[in-house]
Amino acid sequence: DRSLLGLKDLGRDEIESIMNRAAHWEAQHEKLVPVLASKFVANMFFENSTRTRFSFEMAEKRLGAQVLNFTAAASSVEKGESIYDTVRTLESMGIDAGVIRLKPAGVLEELSSKISVPLINAGDGNNEHPTQALLDLYTMKKRFGSLQGLTVSIIGDIKHSRVARSDLWALRKFGAEVKFCAPNNMTAPELEPFARYVTMEEALRSDVVMMLRVQLERHATGMLKSAEEYRAQYGLTEERASKLSKHTLIMHPAPVNRNVEIDDAVVESEQSAIFPQMSNGVPIRMAVMERAMK
């Protein structure tokens, strides 16, 4: 299967092979290697995106694919057309693969079973964001050499985070330990068998400290009482960052709420991999698109 719906059910070998191929693409000095020149791909974003959408487009174009960009707000979705009818429409026109971001969790699998071209999950609700986790693991592997035995703390809004879930499923396959730290109303009880909840103090004693964006758009009103209070309790403030071990890597999937979950000065500090994560997203997505269509 050349679709990529999630990492929970993807084998470790497959993940390793995508990362190895990403390393090949990262080392490639030619910006344009048109191995997918005769292929057509539709990027179908039913939810907003900057990084994922443009790094998929960058990756597809670097491989020479013909790219069709679909955004729900400028489409017949606005007239009530369903996700299924939209994807079927693009499939009928001859696309070879589709990249899809959806607001609801749990509809992608069924959709994929009814569509014959490979579908790549670019984030579905709070379920999975597999290419984000692939680029996260790739970033960690580049920094530490191996994922085996790494301690990775994921801090913040676990409840709404598809990134936390995809990272958790993938990191476990490589023998890394995932710890969670979250306010009581942002935990995901169903994940408790797989990751311990720890205090902020313990979370910061890890090889990787991954901060999550407080997903204000997914919150019921009143869930986040005050940004200052959140920062004080769960933010990676300059003061907390200064006490991290020098080998600790700071990560964040972005977009960042500067001075809420992470201080402005920490975002681009020496220990931060936030912008390198974005760079690594391109070769990872090149590997994923090549796998889907070549």
Indicate the annotated binding residues: 51-52, 79, 101, 129, 132, 162, 213, 254-255
Binding footprint of ligand CP, residue count (CB under 6 A):
10
CB closer to ligand CP out of 52 and 206: 52
CA distance 76 to 58: 26
Q: Which residues contact 95 (CB under 8 A, 6 or more apart)?
A: 40, 41, 42, 68, 117
Token duo for residue 138: 């790739």
Among 21, 33, 49, 177, binds ligand CP (CB under 6 A): 49
* Distance, CA of 230 to chain centre: 23
Residues facing residue 270 across a β-bridge = none
Shortest CB 71 distance to ligand CP, Å = 13
- Residue 71 interacting with ligand CP (CB under 6 A): no
- Residue 272 interacting with ligand CP (CB under 6 A): no
CB closer to ligand CP out of 54 and 197: 54
- Residue 255 interacting with ligand CP (CB under 6 A): yes
CB closer to ligand CP out of 52 and 257: 52
CA distance 265 to 214: 18
Contact letters for ligand CP, residues 234-253 (x by CB under 6 A): -------------------x
- Closest by CA to 223, choosing from 179, 155, 159, is 159
Shortest CB 123 distance to ligand CP, Å = 6
Indicate the annotated binding residues for carbamoyl phosphate: 51-52, 101, 129, 132, 254-255
- Residue 50 interacting with ligand CP (CB under 6 A): yes
Shortest CB 216 distance to ligand CP, Å = 13
Q: Is the peptide bond before 255 cis (omega within 30 degrees of 0)?
A: yes
- Residue 153 interacting with ligand CP (CB under 6 A): no
Binding piece for ligand CP, criterion CB under 6 A, among 3-11, 47-55, 190-198, 265-273: 47-55
CA distances from 109 to 4, 124, 165, 287 (A): 10, 10, 16, 22
Q: Which residues contact 119 (CB under 8 A, 6 or more apart)?
A: 3, 4, 5, 87, 97, 98, 99, 100, 108, 111, 112
Name the site residues for ligand CP (rule: CB under 6 A): 49-53, 123, 132, 253-255
